[in-house]
């Protein structure tokens, strides 16, 4: 912490928010504290007594500080600070009925439930989504008006004689009493002068009011201001601390309430004097490249240094992101001139705020033969992916540039920091590696090549030789397009990392698919599996050879009877010793692989864990791919070229034949992964190493596996992505033109017209005849033949030449006739033309041929609207849209176009390793170890990124789950609430992770006996699920089951039964009638009927569930045994009902040994017990990193800190874990025994009370 943090705190506190010009001094000392110093430099502050107090001493104003003071007062008047009452957990002890106590716990809970739940709607099954419920509404207090206006006077600037007397600037303030006050800001403060609008008289006024702050002066001059400002500063608000913490970057929602345009002086001045991201107050431009590279040079040998390195780099990149986004938007808006205005307009580049901006278009015709602008657009994303890979490779002498891509108004702008000397000729910076002009000339410096080899080993890039156009043979450890430059600062920079990973051999034609690359996740997965299979095969061969040698030795001994036969004893002893060593090693804190993975364990002492690690690492480094395979790059050796192509083809075949079918047929079918929308589908596909161009393949497999929701989601994503490509082209063409209609002049009419056509009654060919669509296809073909460079013209951001071209196209020769003789429309936004353009684009990009007529329901159109707006950056007004009308959207509905930013992924590897270890421990039931690892991860994340980070939210979620399994429900609720707030603030209110957090929060709240709050969260999750993926989805069905469980526990079984029936219908629609989840619904419906006394119905549904279980998992599965127990119980109760034994009070609708509660969650938190080869490789990596971190922590952590970390861990579950849970102490056993006794006594009391109630 530094002194500036104290000043920031004082600036946000209502009591001192209007003090801006002051100095901090220690009590009893006149020495001024440096604002930029760290608090550790002043040890007196830590001492007890008066010396650790700070006092605020008024300072002298200058013109800059005076303007800052006035600006701060304006901010306070418009958005005043409030007294925040920080309530960590609003769900604890909210009311007497919601709080469980030791005495009468069940009665209090049921009473509170009956009082709270009768106010919910009679039917909360959503038949129609109300979009007015989408925004997260907060209770806002009205801000009282304290002053009419505060303006800078027209008498500014002060004349020379007044400036020499201390005048800095003049203000004109109109109070609520309609008095006009002319105020002078001088070096010592503020005072009233005698000027008017007609007369300049800077002398003090008759009243002679003076003050160091403008607020105190206005309090003296206006009684209304004094009273209202005091009321303004006394406002209070109850919020969680995470609701107050600033976001690291702005988050935009695709739908928002139309804001009121308030009167704001600061906003008006900022818009007129904007610097487009440049920090004008600093007086000097920030050198983004120097700051970023200095972070890269920071030491990171231990954990403390790595935390400081990650924190510094993250903060610098956040500042760069803010400046780059504002600059990119200014470039698109035409507010920044190019640095090469004499070149062709397509080749313009921009330099502003020491950031280099370039449009992702083929301005130099580098890709004119292989796709042009389309290739340049895709290469920006590949470049960010390559930079991320090199950042993770972490070669200290190799530098990358701070880079991001901004999609705004149909354009994509690439923003990069500047290599020193690159704009000052060849003498300042030198190109030493790769090719600047395709393959005409290729360079390779030996020193630079050594650095590239270090990164190539980690990224599986093969060292290979290429031949340039002049016939020279060059050895590279990258693709030919990658460039190595030595800047004027003598640093080695690598850029244009567009082809770090090999090409996809499933798309071998380089001319048609130049950007088809394999993803880094697939390359890593393939290399892991290949390395493990090689190691296991080698071990098996060694074992077989050893067995044959042993057998040969025994036969030799049998022939030689006179010799000693005890020579075979030492190997047996060695084997026994090795087995003991392996067993001891398996008890370490680092999770070790088990199950089938034990085949990779060493068999001798020489081949211990360290040898196993080294064998794996060396095997992994030996697997590499040639990034120039399947490209138009010459190789001097044809055999090597063919061998490299076979290696890449093997990885591509692994993707096509193994990864994709497994994801669809196994993960999606068994609900191990459940995508909600296009964003979550993309994340799941990328996690498994699958590119988005395989969407057509996945849709076909989903149809074969009878998963209509996956097929529909893939189809929807392909259509929306094609529509995004088209609307971006239309947005790029929007410019005023007298020859065009005004509807195409501006952005809002263009967006409105496109959405009306795309989602209107004729959406996707609905209502259009086959002849109309065929005519539209002919029109598109004719337009393509007429203008082959149509896409390149659309990429021009501004200029007059496009208007001339559009006027030339107006007089076109396209004459396609419909069957009735009418001319087919040539407008690209005609329904038939737009749908055929989308249809053809889907077939080209995804190799998927859609039907000519596709019908989508209004709910599905709403999902498509949301997805398209998020991809393009369109913000719409929050209202209910009727998709059955011809005109769905009005121009006023388009509120804004916001930038969509793609950045480099900067993550903490230490925190990620700890989180993964905690997840594995959690999956094994070792709660103590999981809690300790997650707490360490959370500490690292807070020091590195602060609480507002996605990794922090993931860690909070896992911590909440650990606490829940350890029966610490209040702590679980608190942790999950933090995760939910972080997800909402950094990802948005309708992000898939946010919705999962709502669902998990409902589970924890229901477990803590708070059904009202649980219903609030689960119904919010259900609303967002249906908004994102429609009414038929596994997550929607799971939410219905969870709502039913809450109602069932609250005594409202009939309402819960309605949700269970809806869940069953949903599961049958998306998974088929024979899925396990349908059987689960039948079981829950049976329990609900049992609770209502309908035992015959319960028996029928339980029989149906048992039959489905037997069909899917066999007769010996535990589910079958449990179902049989339920059937026997229902049958017993049914017989008692038939005999009339219910009056005796012995009837129990629920089995005493089986829980009727079922909570369905399709989100995967913990690792499965069966570890896959990929998990095994990850565990091997974690073993090495954990051993290194343990040695570092021994030097940095003291024993007290270690003890505190252990004491913070929750107690384990009462039931000891079978897989590494450890022995329980005597105190723990006594505690568990007492708890079980209380539970039995409670169950007996409840049974007696129920029997008494029935008898009465």
Residue 796: burial class (beta carbons within 10 Å; 0-12, 13-18, 19+): buried
In this structure, the number of other CB atoms found within 10 A of the CB of residue 901 comes to: 18
Say what the pLDDT of residue 935 is.
Answer: 94
930: closest CA among 711, 647, 708, 1219? 1219
- Residues 49-94 have pLDDT tens digits of 555 678 889 999 999 899 999 989 988 988 888 877 765 556 654 3
Q: Report the length, in residues, of the chain.
A: 1256
Q: Supply φ then ψ for residue 339, to 5 degrees.
A: -90, -10
| Mean pLDDT for the stretch of residues 703-714 | 93
State how far the Cα of 167 lies from the Cα of 202, in Å rounded to an integer: 9
506: closest CA among 404, 681, 365, 630? 630
Q: Supply φ then ψ for residue 1090, to 5 degrees.
A: -65, -40
* pLDDT at residue 551 tops 50: yes
Task: Give yes or no for a contact between 429 and 419, defined as CB atoms under 8 angstroms apart.
Answer: yes
- Residues 682-696 have pLDDT tens digits of 999 999 999 999 999
State how far the Cα of 877 lies from the Cα of 859, in Å rounded to an integer: 18
The 3-state DSSP class for residue 673 equals coil
Helical segments of 53-181, H only: 63-78, 105-117, 160-163
Say what the pLDDT of residue 1034 is.
Answer: 92
- Structure confidence at residue 612 as a pLDDT band (50, 70, 90): low
- Structure confidence at residue 1181 as a pLDDT band (50, 70, 90): very low
Helical segments of 22-159, H only: 63-78, 105-117
In this structure, the number of other CB atoms found within 10 A of the CB of residue 1194 comes to: 9
State how far the Cα of 577 lies from the Cα of 108, in Å rounded to an integer: 61
Return the CA Rg of the chain: 35
> Which residues are paired to 2 by β-bridges?
38
| Mean pLDDT for the stretch of residues 1072-1080 | 88
- Residues 1193-1225 have pLDDT tens digits of 444 444 434 434 333 333 333 333 333 334 455
Distances (CA, A) of 168 to 156, 157, 182, 215, 1155: 9, 8, 14, 18, 77
* pLDDT at residue 441 tops 50: yes
Distances (CA, A) of 600 to 15, 592, 611, 1224, 1229: 66, 11, 12, 32, 38
| Mean pLDDT for the stretch of residues 416-422 | 91
State how far the Cα of 637 lies from the Cα of 642, in Å rounded to an integer: 9
- Residues 827-879 have pLDDT tens digits of 889 999 999 999 999 999 999 999 888 989 999 999 999 999 999 999 999 99
| Widest distance between CA atoms in the chain | 130
Task: Give yes or no for a contact between 23 and 59, defined as CB atoms under 8 angstroms apart.
Answer: yes
Say what the pLDDT of residue 1072 is.
Answer: 87
| Mean pLDDT for the stretch of residues 656-665 | 94
Say what the pLDDT of residue 32 is.
Answer: 83
State how far the Cα of 1013 lies from the Cα of 1046, in Å rounded to an integer: 11
Task: Give yes or no for a contact between 362 and 377, defined as CB atoms under 8 angstroms apart.
Answer: no
State how far the Cα of 791 lies from the Cα of 117, in Å rounded to an integer: 58
- Structure confidence at residue 1120 as a pLDDT band (50, 70, 90): confident
The 3-state DSSP class for residue 175 equals coil
- Structure confidence at residue 1236 as a pLDDT band (50, 70, 90): low
Q: Worst-scoring range by mean pLDDT, 608-617, 864-873, 900-909, 1026-1035?
A: 608-617
- Structure confidence at residue 1182 as a pLDDT band (50, 70, 90): very low
Task: Give yes or no for a contact between 360 and 380, defined as CB atoms under 8 angstroms apart.
Answer: yes
841: closest CA among 756, 894, 780, 883? 780
> Which residues are paired to 22 by β-bridges?
58
Look at 399 and 120; give whichever has higher pLDDT.
399
State how far the Cα of 1068 lies from the Cα of 1074, in Å rounded to an integer: 8
Q: Supply φ then ψ for residue 414, to 5 degrees.
A: -100, 120
CA atoms within a 13 Å half-sphere pointing along the CA-CB vector of 382: 24
State how far the Cα of 44 lies from the Cα of 56, in Å rounded to an integer: 17
> What's 32's DSSP letter?
B
User: What is the separation, in whole angstroms, between the first and last Cα of the chain?
Assistant: 68
Strands 411-417 and 403-408: antiparallel
State how far the Cα of 954 lies from the Cα of 922, in Å rounded to an integer: 14
> Which residues are paired to 431 by β-bridges?
485
State how far the Cα of 996 lies from the Cα of 980, in Å rounded to an integer: 9
Look at 918 and 259; give whichever has higher pLDDT.
918
Q: Worst-scoring range by mean pLDDT, 28-32, 186-190, 901-905, 1066-1070?
A: 28-32
- Structure confidence at residue 1250 as a pLDDT band (50, 70, 90): low
pLDDT above 90: percentage of residues in the chain: 48
* pLDDT at residue 790 tops 60: no
The 3-state DSSP class for residue 1018 equals helix
* pLDDT at residue 1231 tops 90: no
pLDDT above 70: percentage of residues in the chain: 78
The 3-state DSSP class for residue 1092 equals coil
State how far the Cα of 894 lies from the Cα of 181, in Å rounded to an integer: 42
Say what the pLDDT of residue 787 is.
Answer: 62
* DSSP of 872-906: HTEEEE-S---TTSS----GGGEEEE--EEEE---
Say what the pLDDT of residue 1051 is.
Answer: 86
Task: Give yes or no for a contact between 996 and 1011, defined as CB atoms under 8 angstroms apart.
Answer: no
Say what the pLDDT of residue 1211 is.
Answer: 35
Say what the pLDDT of residue 50 is.
Answer: 54
pLDDT, averaged across the chain: 81
* pLDDT at residue 574 tops 50: no
CA pseudo-torsion sign 1073, 1076, 1079, 1080: negative
* pLDDT at residue 573 tops 50: no
* pLDDT at residue 44 tops 60: yes
- Sheet containing 894-897: which strands, arranged edge to edge? 255-256, 874-877, 894-897
| Mean pLDDT for the stretch of residues 496-520 | 91
> What angle (nearest 5°) sits at the alpha carbon of residue 996, between those of residues 994 and 999?
115
The 3-state DSSP class for residue 948 equals coil
| Mean pLDDT for the stretch of residues 1021-1042 | 92
State how far the Cα of 346 lies from the Cα of 337, in Å rounded to an integer: 14
| Mean pLDDT for the stretch of residues 932-953 | 93
User: What is the value of pTM for the model shown?
Assistant: 0.84
The 3-state DSSP class for residue 174 equals strand
* pLDDT at residue 806 tops 60: no
- Residues 334-363 have pLDDT tens digits of 999 999 998 888 889 999 999 999 999 887
């Amino acid at each position: 912490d530094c002194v500036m943090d104290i000043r920031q705190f004082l600036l946000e506190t209502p009591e001192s928010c209007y003090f801006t010009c002051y100095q901090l001094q220690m009590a009893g000392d006149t020495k001024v504290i440096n604002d930029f110093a760290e608090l550790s430099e002043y040890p007196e502050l830590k001492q007890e007594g008066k010396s650790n107090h700070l006092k605020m001493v008024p300072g002298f104003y200058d013109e800059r500080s005076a303007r800052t003071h006035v600006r701060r007062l304006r901010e306070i008047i418009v958005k005043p600070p409030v007294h925040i009452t920080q309530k960590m957990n609003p769900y604890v002890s909210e009311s007497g009925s919601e709080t469980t106590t030791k005495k009468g716990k069940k009665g209090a809970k049921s009473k509170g439930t009956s009082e709270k739940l009768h106010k919910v709607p009679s039917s909360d099954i959503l038949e129609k989504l109300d979009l007015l419920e989408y925004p997260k509404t907060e209770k806002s207090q009205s801000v009282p008006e304290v002053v009419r206006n505060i303006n800078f006077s027209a008498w500014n600037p002060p004349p020379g004689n007044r400036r020499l007397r201390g005048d800095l600037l003049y203000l004109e303030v109109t109070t609520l009493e309609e008095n006009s006050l002319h105020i002078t800001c001088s070096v010592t403060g503020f005072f009233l002068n005698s000027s008017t609008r007609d007369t300049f008289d800077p002398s003090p006024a008759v009243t002679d009011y003076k003050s160091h702050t403008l607020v105190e002066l206005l309090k003296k001059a206006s009684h209304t201001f004094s009273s209202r400002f005091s009321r303004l500063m006394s406002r209070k608000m109850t919020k969680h601390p995470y609701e107050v913490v600033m976001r690291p970057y702005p988050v935009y929602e695709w739908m928002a309430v139309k804001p009121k345009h308030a009167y704001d002086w600061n906003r008006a001045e900022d818009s007129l004097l904007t610097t487009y991201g440049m920090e004008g107050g600093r007086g000097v431009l920030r050198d983004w490249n120097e700051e970023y590279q200095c972070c890269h040079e920071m030491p990171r040998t231990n954990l403390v240094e790595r935390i400081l390195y990650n924190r510094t780099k993250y903060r610098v990149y956040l500042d760069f992101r803010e400046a780059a986004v504002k600059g990119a938007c200014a470039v698109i808006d035409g507010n920044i001139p190019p640095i090469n205005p004499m070149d062709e307009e397509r080749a313009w580049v921009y330099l502003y705020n020491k950031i280099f901006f370039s449009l992702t278009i083929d301005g130099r015709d580098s890709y004119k033969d292989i796709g042009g602008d389309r290739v340049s657009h895709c290469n920006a994303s590949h470049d960010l992916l390559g930079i991320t890979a090199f950042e993770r490779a972490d070669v200290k002498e190799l530098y990358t540039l701070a880079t991001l891509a901004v999609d705004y108004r149909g354009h994509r702008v690439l923003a990069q920091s500047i290599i020193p000397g690159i704009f000052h000729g060849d003498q300042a910076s030198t190109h030493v590696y790769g090719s600047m002009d395709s393959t005409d000339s290729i360079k390779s410096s030996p020193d630079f090549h050594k650095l590239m080899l270090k990164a190539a080993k980690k990224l599986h890039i093969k060292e290979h030789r290429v031949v340039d156009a002049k016939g020279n043979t060059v050895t590279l450890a990258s693709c030919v397009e990658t460039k190595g430059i030595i800047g004027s600062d003598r640093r080695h920079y690598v850029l244009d990392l567009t082809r770090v990973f090999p090409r996809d051999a499933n798309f071998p034609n380089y001319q048609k698919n130049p950007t088809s690359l394999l993803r880094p996740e697939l390359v890593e997965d393939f290399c892991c599996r290949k390395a493990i299979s090689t190691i296991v095969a080698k071990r098996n061969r060694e074992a077989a050879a050893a067995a044959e040698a042993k057998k040969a030795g025994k036969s030799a001994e049998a022939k030689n009877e006179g010799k000693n036969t005890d020579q075979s004893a030492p190997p047996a002893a060695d084997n026994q010793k090795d087995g003991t060593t392996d067993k001891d090693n398996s008890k370490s804190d680092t999770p070790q692989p088990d199950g089938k993975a034990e085949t990779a364990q060493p068999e001798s002492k020489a081949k211990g864990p360290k040898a196993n690690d080294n064998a794996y690492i060396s095997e992994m480094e030996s697997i590499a791919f040639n990034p120039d395979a399947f490209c138009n790059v010459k190789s001097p050796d044809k055999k090597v070229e063919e061998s490299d192509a076979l290696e890449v083809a093997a990885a591509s075949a692994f993707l096509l034949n193994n990864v994709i079918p497994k994801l669809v047929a196994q993960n999606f079918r068994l609900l191990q992964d459940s995508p909600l929308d296009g964003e979550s589908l993309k994340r799941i596909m990328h996690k498994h190493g699958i590119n988005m161009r395989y969407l057509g393949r996945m849709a076909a497999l989903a149809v074969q596996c009878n998963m209509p929701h996956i097929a529909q989601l893939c189809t929807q994503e392909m259509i929306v992505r094609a529509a995004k490509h088209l609307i971006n082209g239309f947005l790029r063409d929007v410019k005023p033109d007298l020859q065009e209609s005004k509807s195409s002049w501006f952005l809002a009419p263009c967006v409105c017209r496109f959405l009306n056509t795309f989602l209107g009654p004729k959406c996707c060919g609905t209502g259009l005849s086959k002849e109309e669509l065929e005519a539209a296809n002919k029109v598109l073909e004719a337009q393509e033949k007429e203008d082959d460079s149509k896409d390149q013209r659309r990429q021009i951001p501004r200029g007059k030449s496009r208007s001339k071209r559009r006027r030339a196209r107006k007089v076109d020769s396209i004459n396609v006739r419909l069957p009735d003789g009418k001319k087919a429309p040539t407008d690209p936004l005609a329904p038939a033309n737009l749908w055929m353009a989308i249809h053809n684009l889907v077939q080209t990009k995804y190799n998927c041929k859609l039907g000519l007529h596709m019908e989508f329901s209004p709910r599905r159109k709403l999902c498509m609207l949301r997805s398209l707006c998020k991809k393009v950056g369109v913000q719409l007004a929050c209202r209910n849209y009727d998709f059955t009308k011809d005109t769905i959207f009005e121009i006023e509905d388009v509120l804004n176009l916001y930038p969509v930013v793609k950045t480099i992924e900067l993550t903490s590897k230490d925190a990620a390793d700890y989180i993964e270890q905690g997840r594995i421990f959690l999956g094994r039931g070792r709660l103590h170890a999981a809690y300790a690892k997650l707490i360490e991860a959370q500490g690292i994340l807070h020091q590195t990124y602060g609480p507002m980070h996605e990794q922090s939210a993931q860690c909070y979620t896992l911590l909440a789950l650990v606490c829940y399994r350890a029966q610490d429900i209040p702590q679980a609720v608190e942790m999950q609430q933090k995760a939910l707030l972080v997800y909402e603030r950094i990802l948005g209110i309708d992000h898939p992770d946010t919705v999962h957090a709502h669902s998990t929060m409902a589970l924890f709240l229901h477990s803590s006996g708070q059904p009202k709050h649980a219903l609030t969260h689960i119904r919010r999750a259900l609303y967002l699920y249906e908004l994102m993926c429609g009414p038929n989805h596994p997550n929607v069905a799971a939410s219905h089951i969870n709502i039913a469980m809450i109602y069932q526990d609250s005594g409202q079984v009939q309402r819960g039964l309605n949700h269970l029936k809806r869940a069953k219908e949903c599961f049958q629609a998306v998974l088929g009638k024979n899925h396990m989840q349908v059987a689960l619904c039948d079981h829950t419906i049976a329990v609900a009927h049992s609770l209502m006394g309908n035992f015959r119905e319960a028996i029928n549904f339980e029989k149906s569930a048992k039959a489905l279980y037997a069909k899917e998992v066999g007769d010996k599965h535990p589910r079958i045994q449990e179902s049989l127990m339920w059937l026997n119980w229902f049958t017993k109760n049914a017989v008692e009902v038939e005999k009339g034994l219910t009056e005796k009070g012995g009837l129990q609708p629920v089995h005493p040994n089986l829980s009727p509660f079922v909570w369905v969650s399709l989100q995967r938190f913990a690792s499965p017990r069966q570890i896959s080869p990929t998990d095994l490789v990850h565990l091997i990596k974690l073993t090495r990193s954990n051993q290194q971190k343990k040695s570092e922590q021994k030097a940095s952590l003291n024993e007290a800190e270690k003890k505190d970390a252990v004491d913070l861990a929750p107690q384990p579950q009462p039931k000891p874990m079978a897989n590494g849970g450890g022995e329980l102490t005597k105190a723990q056993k006594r505690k568990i025994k007492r708890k079980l006794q209380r539970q039995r006594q409670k169950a007996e009391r409840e049974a007696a009370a129920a029997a008494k109630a029935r008898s009465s």
